[in-house]
């Protein structure tokens, strides 16, 4: 796959941007545990389906479609996890255990990118996806038998879920048809003839069209912001309106929203191109042990240290140094990529890559280790900040709004990362990604930072 196509897989993160739309459902209906179990069960079935489809020829498109559906289920599961965490633990315990929570998150990420991906490439993708399905199934039964119910119990979750799907079925179907039409047009003889007559169209690949569409969608949402705001305020008694209005009704909301959207832009761009960088530098066969053997323990240590220091010294004192370290990694990757430019040029697309020296391989592993350590620190501080701005009546929906907004920059940064890397190369790309992280870090100086979660009055 091209770098552009790899970058466009960030579209799978779209549900994490949109999950605030159905976040209030999790607060209003059923229980957080029930939402978690239902979504986990569906994900188990989807992964088993992908495992069975993987050996088939031309299965990539169908697998991508299943992944896109699964991402909506996983985003809903994410909302339920966040709500359960905040209901099961009091405010003091939330700060105390944030390090463990981030550690579990980093382990999960390393399991996917290290273990599952390695099994898939070394053996076959049936084995990789089947292992993923088995792991998730084991966790499903573990949660089913050990997790206690907590928080208020609302009406059944099935009726509102079906109602939500029915109301949005037209939109979902229209989007699916639009994607099929775009892809069909992109592969048609007419468009191929036009590309010959107009060379500029050669750069307009299917991923490029999707990326352009996402950018246009963001502009349309901005232009329609007044109509959307009016629709919410005209029905203030609904749980949707209460969730959104209570989230927006706070001091310095403009600074908070800008910070949430921009703070992870650089990190998202780096993560989108890290795996292709490792492959193109000639370390495809070493990817597994670098991720699992170096990245995993470093991320665990970073998460634990982050949670411990936040709990001991407060969020206000830790947010700036932690986030600076997280984004400083991009500059280290820039220096590494520029120093390995010869290997990148020689090994890109090469089935028999030129091996790196031991010192150069150590530099790659050490850089990844620092990246995962500082990423653990940054994730801990950002999760703590988002929890602090959640009102207790709307824990799940407010956290969904916050994490959804935080994913906006990730979606667009991931989409453009492949095109930008193809244009300027890995070294300058990593440098540009650091520059994009600066606005978010500067906003910290105007950010309201709470020493206590915002349920009872909190002081700056």
pLDDT tens digits for range 297-352: 888 888 889 888 888 888 889 999 999 999 999 999 999 999 999 999 888 888 78
* pLDDT at site 332: 95
CA distance 339 to 25: 51
Is the separation of the CB atoms in 422 and 205 below 8 Å? no
Among 129, 139, 136, CA closest to 62: 129
Is the separation of the CB atoms in 367 and 294 below 8 Å? no
Is the separation of the CB atoms in 344 and 281 below 8 Å? yes
Q: How many CB atoms lie within 10 A of CB 126?
A: 17
CA distance 321 to 139: 35
- Residue 220 pLDDT exceeds 50: yes
* Torsion, Cα of 111, 292, 61, 78 (10° steps): 30
CA distances from residue 185 to 8, 118, 180, 189, 233 in whole angstroms, order as listed:
18, 36, 9, 8, 41
Band the pLDDT of 438: cuts 50, 70, 90.
Answer: very high
CA distance 201 to 212: 13
- Residue 434 pLDDT exceeds 90: yes
Among 405, 378, 407, 399, CA closest to 454: 399
pLDDT in tens, 382-432: 888 988 888 777 777 788 788 877 877 776 776 688 888 888 999 999 999
For 188: left if phi > 0, alpha if psi spans -120 to 50, otherwise beta; the answer is beta
For the chain, give the mean pLDDT: 80
Q: What is the mean pLDDT of residues 132-156?
A: 86
Among 57, 54, 53, 60, CA closest to 9: 60
∠ CA 71-77-79, rounded to 5°: 110
* pLDDT at site 442: 94
Q: At 210, is the secondary structure helix, strand, or coil? A: helix
Is the separation of the CB atoms in 87 and 395 below 8 Å? yes
Among 35, 40, 147, 18, CA closest to 80: 35
Q: At 270, is the secondary structure helix, strand, or coil? A: helix
Report residue 236 CA to chain centroid gap: 31
* pLDDT at site 460: 27
* pLDDT at site 152: 67
CA distances from residue 387 to 87, 256, 263, 376, 403 in whole angstroms, order as listed:
11, 13, 16, 17, 10
- Residue 367 pLDDT exceeds 90: yes
Q: What is the pTM of this model?
A: 0.69
Among 53-57, 135-139, 189-193, 229-233, which stretch is predicted with the lowest mean pLDDT? 229-233
- Residue 186 pLDDT exceeds 70: no
* pLDDT at site 208: 54
Instruction: Retrieve residue 131's tokens.
Output: 């292992």
The helix (H) or strand (E) run that includes residue 181 is helix 158-186
* pLDDT at site 455: 45
Is the separation of the CB atoms in 310 and 318 below 8 Å? yes
Band the pLDDT of 459: cuts 50, 70, 90.
Answer: very low
CA distance 371 to 77: 27
In the DSSP assignment, the letter for residue 252 is T
Share of the chain above pLDDT 90, in %: 24
* pLDDT at site 391: 79
Among 214, 338, 323, 209, CA closest to 265: 323
- How many residues does this entry show for the chain? 460
Instruction: Retrieve residue 377's tokens.
Output: 């620190």
Share of the chain above pLDDT 70, in %: 77
- Residue that has been written with the tokens 């206000």 in this structure: 316
- Residue 160 pLDDT exceeds 80: no
pLDDT in tens, 224-283: 667 766 766 676 666 667 777 777 777 788 888 889 888 888 888 888 888 889 888 988
- Residue 149 pLDDT exceeds 60: yes
* pLDDT at site 239: 65
Q: What is the mean pLDDT of residues 49-75?
A: 88
All domains of the chain, ordered by start, with CATH?
3-446 (1.20.1250.20)
CA distance 3 to 415: 10
């Amino acid at each position: 796959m091209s770098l552009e196509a790899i970058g466009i897989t960030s579209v799978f993160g779209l549900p994490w941007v949109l999950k605030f739309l159905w976040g209030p459902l999790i607060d209003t209906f059923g229980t957080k545990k029930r939402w978690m179990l239902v979504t986990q069960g569906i994900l188990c079935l989807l992964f088993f389906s992908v495992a069975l489809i993987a050996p088939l020829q031309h299965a990539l498109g169908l697998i991508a479609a299943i992944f896109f559906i699964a991402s909506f289920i996983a985003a809903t599961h994410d909302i339920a996890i966040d709500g359960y965490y905040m209901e099961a633990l009091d405010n003091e315990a939330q700060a105390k255990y944030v390090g463990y929570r981030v550690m579990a998150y980093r382990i999960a990420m390393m399991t996917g990118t290290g273990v599952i991906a390695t099994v898939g490439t070394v053996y076959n993708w049936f084995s990789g996806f089947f292992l993923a399905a088995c792991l998730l199934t084991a966790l499903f039964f573990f949660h089913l038998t050990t997790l206690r119910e907590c928080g208020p119990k609302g009406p059944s979750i099935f009726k509102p879920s079906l109602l939500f799907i029915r109301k949005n079925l037209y939109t979902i179907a229209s989007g699916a048809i639009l994607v099929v039409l775009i892809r069909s047009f992109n592969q048609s003889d007419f468009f191929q003839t036009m590309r010959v007559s107009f060379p500029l169209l050669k750069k307009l690949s299917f991923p490029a069209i999707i990326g352009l569409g996402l950018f246009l969608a963001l502009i349309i949402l901005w232009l329609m912001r007044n109509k959307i705001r009016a629709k919410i305020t005209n029905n203030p008694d609904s749980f949707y309106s209460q969730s959104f209005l209570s989230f927006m009704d706070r001091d310095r909301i403009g600074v908070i929203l800008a910070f949430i959207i921009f703070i992870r832009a650089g990190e998202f761009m780096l993560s989108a191109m890290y795996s292709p960088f490792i492959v193109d530098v000639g370390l495809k066969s070493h990817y597994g042990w670098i991720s699992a053997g170096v990245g995993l323990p470093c991320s665990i240590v970073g998460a634990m240290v982050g949670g411990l220091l936040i709990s001991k010294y407060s969020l206000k004192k830790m947010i700036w140094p932690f986030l600076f370290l997280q984004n400083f990694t991009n500059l280290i990757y820039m220096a590494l990529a520029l120093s390995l430019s010869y290997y990148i040029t020689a090994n890109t697309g090469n089935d028999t890559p030129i091996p790196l020296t031991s010192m150069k391989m150590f530099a790659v592993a050490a850089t990844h280790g620092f990246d995962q350590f500082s990423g653990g620190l940054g994730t801990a501080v950002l999760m703590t900040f988002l929890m602090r701005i959640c009102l207790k009546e709307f824990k799940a929906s407010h956290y969904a709004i916050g994490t959804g907004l935080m994913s906006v920059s990730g979606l667009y940064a991931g989409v453009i990362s492949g095109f930008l890397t193809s244009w300027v190369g890995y070294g300058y790309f990593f440098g540009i990604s650091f520059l994009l992280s600066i606005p978010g870090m500067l906003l910290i100086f105007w950010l309201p930072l709470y020493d206590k979660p915002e349920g009872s009055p909190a002081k700056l």
